[in-house]
Amino acid sequence: MKIVYTFVPSPNHVYPDHPERPARLDVLKPRLNSFDAELIEAKPATLEEIALVHNPQLVASLEKVCREDAPGIIDHAPTYVTQSSFDDALLAAGGVLTCTREVLNGNANNAFAIVRPPGHHAEPDRAMGFCLFNNVAIGARYALANGMDRVMVIDYDAHHGNGTQAAFLEDDRVAFLSAHQWGIYPGTGWIEDAPHAKKRIVNVPLPTRAGDKAYERVADEIFTPFVESFKPQMIFVSVGFDAHWNDPITSLGLSTAGYLMLAKKVIAFAEEHCDGKIVFVLEGGYDPVNVANGAKAVFVAATGKGESDARDPNPHREPDCESRIAEIRNWHGF
């Protein structure tokens, strides 16, 4: 089983004291050579590829603010830009596209785009939530333009993937599921968000400290019927390592073992339904050790080799999520 990855650390996309910073990847970077995976060079996305998701007016205005007014803050999240950020965002989206092409053409079984700035909050008409372009949505649309009829995005970053949901709200070719902490930024992602798209747009808002046990039940009782219902030909995963129990800006309860479990389960879905076609895309995660351990878990699951050696169980008591899971299953008819 061959896995490829792209690595786009964007060292010049940095702002003082901001949690979304290049140092997120500092622990991971020296470990990358130890994984049984092939590094491939990311090529920047073209403006036409960005326009698969984003309004050209947004792209032009973002380029202008980066070139002329950066560095600066562009929204309340706060999202920042530097003079390199436009090019960095093109390369981050391109890192996902490079991985997508390798999987589509059969050069790799699966792939992992380790890129920043992240993307899943970026909506078609606005950058927001630390995100400039929606990398995973651009990859999904590219797959649709290159032979796929049905693709799926599963998002288990701690925050709701509002931008991905917005991109595909009316696109029946794409199914989207987000499992996230309820009550934090961006404040969207309730169960009944998209009543016209039941079974295709699925939100799993979880309470504080929901961890490995809750996520395993979510994977078995919600991810599984979601995938079986839609029957995707390719799966993209927005993987944010900020759902780890000690992430500095969230308060969920996953451990590295939980991330390994989730990666194995979504890879199994891809093997069953998509001839193994799956692309993981890095989103959040603001503790460098968690990012490194979580990324290793993805590589271990994807290659079937090695083992996750992190021992970081959640020290907090998990809430009972049974009623929430039942509510979601009932809403969608799963």
The rounded distance, in Å, linking the Cα atoms of 286 and 247 is: 6
CB contact set of 119 (below 8 Å; sequence gap of 6+)? 92, 93, 96, 131, 132, 133, 134, 135, 136, 137, 138, 163, 238, 281, 283
- Tens of pLDDT along the chain (334 residues) come to 689 999 999 999 999 999 999 999 999 999 999 999 999 999 999 999 999 999 999 999 999 999 999 999 999 999 999 999 999 999 999 999 999 999 999 999 999 999 999 999 999 999 999 999 999 999 999 999 999 999 999 999 999 999 999 999 999 999 999 999 999 999 999 999 999 999 999 999 999 999 999 999 999 999 999 999 999 999 999 999 999 999 999 999 999 999 999 999 999 999 999 999 999 999 999 999 999 999 999 999 999 988 888 899 999 999 999 999 999 999 999 9
The rounded distance, in Å, linking the Cα atoms of 66 and 84 is: 7
Catalytic residue numbers read 121
Token representation of residue 116: 């920043």
Fold that domain 3-332 belongs to in CATH: Arginase; Chain A (3.40.800)
Q: Where are the alpha helices (DSSP H) in 151-255?
A: 162-168, 212-218, 224-230
The rounded distance, in Å, linking the Cα atoms of 328 and 192 is: 9
Amino acid letter, 264: K
CB contact set of 257 (below 8 Å; sequence gap of 6+)? 212, 297, 308, 310, 312, 313
